[in-house]
Amino acid sequence: MGKKRVLILGSGLAGLSAGWHLQKRGIKAQIFEKEAEVGGLCRSKNIDGFGFDYDGHLLHFKHRYTFNFIKDLLGDNLTQHQRSSWIYAFDKYIRYPFQANLHSLPEEVIKECLLGFVQASKNNYCDNNSKNTFATRPWFGFPHSRSHKNKKNINFLDWINWTFGKGIAKYFMIPYNTKFWTLPPEKLTCEWLSGFIPVPSLGQIIKGAIKESKERFGYNSHFWYPKKGGINQVPLALAGQIKNIFTNCQIKEINTFKKEVIMESGNREKYDYLISTIPLPELARLIKDISREALCSFKKLRWNSIFNLNLGIEKKDNSNRHWIYFPQKDICFFRVGFYHNFSSFLAPKGKGSLYVEVSYSKTRPIDKKKVISRIEKDLKRAGIITAENKICARDINDIKYAYPIYDGNYSLSRKKCLSFLTQNNILSCGRYGSWRYMSMEDVILDGKNIAESL
Ligand SMILES: Cc1cc2nc3c(=O)[nH]c(=O)nc-3n(C[C@H](O)[C@H](O)[C@H](O)COP(=O)(O)OP(=O)(O)OC[C@H]3O[C@@H](n4cnc5c(N)ncnc54)[C@H](O)[C@@H]3O)c2cc1C
């Protein structure tokens, strides 16, 4: 690469991973971060003895490479947990996933869910594969085989109905996803799905309709978390091995013609390659010489935001639950998780700490002045906070860019944005730089790939 100047914008896991992998190849890069600390969404804080993340962040691994990478960084400071996740439905707690744990729901609901699933399996199986008819194939397992076929061409609502049938759709999939995405599922494509939603077989669904199922479903059936400290242990350990990280350095302008970035301080830096992890809608605003056509594509990107309230409470709950999903419309949050069950070091002895997540967007705004009292009221209603749990710490994180929304414009707009950036030697990566539903593991790999592509 000779002496090419490489700048990295942002020190979240994607930017740090890019910097680390470049350094490994002997390529010097400078990382500029607008905040006072590295880590981006994987920062943590300590408030009155409670350890809080910027919303719950758990490590899942699909690749040996990333597992070893994190293990090398954290050494013994990493613990594996078997997931204990739940759903609050019909004013009671059932195990996750809903579709495999119907047994404690009202009888009529179980019947509707089972019949819907059988009907969906039957119709779709016959429709989609005339040679292997429903009657000639075993029931166990076939929903797996059909679950992800052709998903690019159908909307998310069709996929839900097609995969689970009308009952499971009505009682969980539609209300939960509408709440989470802030849009009805028919407005979404299925491009983001790849394995996020577990699809049990009919046998597993029937089993779970008879009694509680402890079978492990889905990509997150177990997870990893630092033994001591918050999720920030990962970026801190990574940053500790990288030279030339500059915090409190906000980029306020990018001149693609002069190949120069200008900081809030007025300092300027020239580049040959710019690796950016800045969210695409923000990046578009920084590039003053952006073409009108490209700007039009950037403006079509949509996202949801998360209002995250972290609470420290007297007397922890001893249920050992890790997190709970809330599909009900009359409860304002979609998920609550318990930090003290990830690591006992995250709360003072005997106390509890939890995170609450409320989703919002331009199409479904929230009243930020009223949302905290509403959250606390709903936590009481769901029995998560009782009279004994006096709140002793509160921490708010309003996460503007949370999940890129995969609507009808998503694919083409994203493609055009990234193509404009690459043409201008800007390699945009990470969850918000490449505008994809990516985990910590995914962005570490994305940073690595970008570093190896130079
Ligand atoms: C609510 C929520 C929960 C999540 N939970 C999980 C989970 O449980 N497990 C999991 O694996 N993943 C989870 N994720 C995903 C995970 O957080 C991301 O994949 C990952 O942290 C993204 O890293 P990144 O470096 O791409 O982006 P970021 O962490 O956003 O980093 C971008 C960096 O760029 C900096 N920046 C922005 N603008 C400028 C500027 N103008 N100048 C300089 N710097 C700038 C920012 O300050 C930031 O540090 C979750 C995400 C959300 C939103």
Q: Which atom of ligand 1 is nearest to the CA of 442?
A: 19
Rounded distance from Cα 339 to ligand 1 centre (Å): 19
In this structure, the residue with its CA closest to atom 31 of ligand 1 is: 12
DSSP category for residue 59: B
Compute the distance between CA of residue 187 and CA of residue 168 in angstroms, rounded to an integer.
19
Question: How far is it between the farthest Cα atoms of the chain?
Answer: 72
Q: CA quadruple 177, 179, 180, 184: dihedral positive or negative?
A: positive
Compute the distance between CA of residue 365 and CA of residue 26 in angstroms, rounded to an integer.
47
Q: How do 79-82 and 85-89 pair as beta strands?
A: unpaired
Rounded distance from Cα 432 to ligand 1 centre (Å): 7
Compute the distance between CA of residue 175 and CA of residue 184 in angstroms, rounded to an integer.
9
Q: What does the pLDDT read at residue 363?
A: 94
Compute the distance between CA of residue 254 and CA of residue 263 in angstroms, rounded to an integer.
9
Q: What does the pLDDT read at residue 143?
A: 37
Q: Which atom of ligand 1 is nearest to the CA of 252?
A: 41
In this structure, the residue with its CA closest to atom 12 of ligand 1 is: 439
Rounded distance from Cα 43 to ligand 1 centre (Å): 9
Which residue of 85, 264, 277, 308 sits with most ligand 1 atoms within 8 Å of its CB, as the best mutation to test the pocket? 277
Q: Domains in the chain and their CATH numbers?
A: 6-42+230-300+410-453 (3.50.50.60), 97-213 (no CATH), 303-404 (3.90.660.10)
Query: In sequence order, what DSSP letters do the residues of 251-306 get, joined into one string?
Result: EEEEETTTTEEEETTS-EEE-SEEEE-S-HHHHHHHBTT--HHHHHHHHT--EEEE
Prediction pTM value: 0.93
Compute the distance between CA of residue 374 and CA of residue 331 in angstroms, rounded to an integer.
9
What helix, strand, coil percent values describe the chain, rounded to 5?
A: 35, 20, 40
Rounded distance from Cα 12 to ligand 1 centre (Å): 6
Which residue of 32, 41, 231, 325 sits with most ligand 1 atoms within 8 Å of its CB, as the best mutation to test the pocket? 41
* Residue among 271, 240, 275, 266 at smallest CA distance from 255: 271
How far is CA 174 from its chain centroid? 19
Q: What does the pLDDT read at residue 194?
A: 76
In this structure, the residue with its CA closest to atom 35 of ligand 1 is: 10
Rounded distance from Cα 17 to ligand 1 centre (Å): 12
Q: Which atom of ligand 1 is nearest to the CA of 282?
A: 38
In this structure, the residue with its CA closest to atom 37 of ligand 1 is: 278
For residue 338, the SS3 value is strand
Q: What does the pLDDT read at residue 389?
A: 87
What residues contact residue 180 under an 8 Å CB cut-off, 6+ apart?
Answer: 304, 334, 359, 403
Rounded distance from Cα 180 to ligand 1 centre (Å): 18
Q: What does the pLDDT read at residue 141?
A: 31
**Angle between helix 156-164 and helix 107-128 axes, rounded to 10 deg:** 100
Q: What does the pLDDT read at residue 195?
A: 74
Q: What does the pLDDT read at residue 2?
A: 60
Rounded distance from Cα 288 to ligand 1 centre (Å): 24
Q: Is the peptide bond before 97 cis (omega within 30 degrees of 0)?
A: yes
Rounded distance from Cα 414 to ligand 1 centre (Å): 18
79 forms bridges with which residues in the sheet? Answer: 225
306 forms bridges with which residues in the sheet? Answer: 359, 399
Rounded distance from Cα 14 to ligand 1 centre (Å): 8
Q: What does the pLDDT read at residue 4?
A: 87
pLDDT digits (tens), the chain, 454 positions? 567 899 999 999 999 999 999 999 999 999 999 999 999 999 999 999 999 999 999 999 999 999 999 999 999 999 999 999 999 999 999 999 999 999 999 999 999 999 999 999 886 654 444 333 333 222 223 334 344 455 557 899 999 999 999 999 999 999 999 999 999 999 999 998 877 888 888 999 999 999 887 777 777 789 999 999 999 999 999 999 999 999 999 999 999 999 999 999 999 999 999 999 999 999 999 999 999 999 999 999 999 999 999 999 998 777 899 999 999 999 999 999 999 999 999 999 999 999 999 999 999 999 999 999 999 999 999 999 998 889 999 999 999 999 999 999 999 999 999 999 999 999 999 999 999 999 999 999 999 999 999 9
Q: What does the pLDDT read at residue 198?
A: 84
Rounded distance from Cα 249 to ligand 1 centre (Å): 17
Lining ligand 1 with CB less than 6 A are 9-15, 32-35, 40-42, 55-58, 60, 250-251, 277-278, 282, 306, 399, 402, 430-432, 438-441, 443
Which residue of 282, 431, 434 sits with most ligand 1 atoms within 8 Å of its CB, as the best mutation to test the pocket? 431
Which residue of 17, 52, 54, 57 sits with most ligand 1 atoms within 8 Å of its CB, as the best mutation to test the pocket? 57
| Long-range contacts at 20-28 (CB < 8 A, ≥ 24 apart) | 20/238, 20/241, 20/242, 20/447, 20/451, 21/447, 21/448, 21/451, 21/452, 22/451, 22/454, 23/241, 23/242, 23/243, 24/451, 25/451, 25/452, 27/1, 27/451, 27/454, 28/243, 28/244
Q: Which atom of ligand 1 is nearest to the CA of 446?
A: 26
Rounded distance from Cα 126 to ligand 1 centre (Å): 43
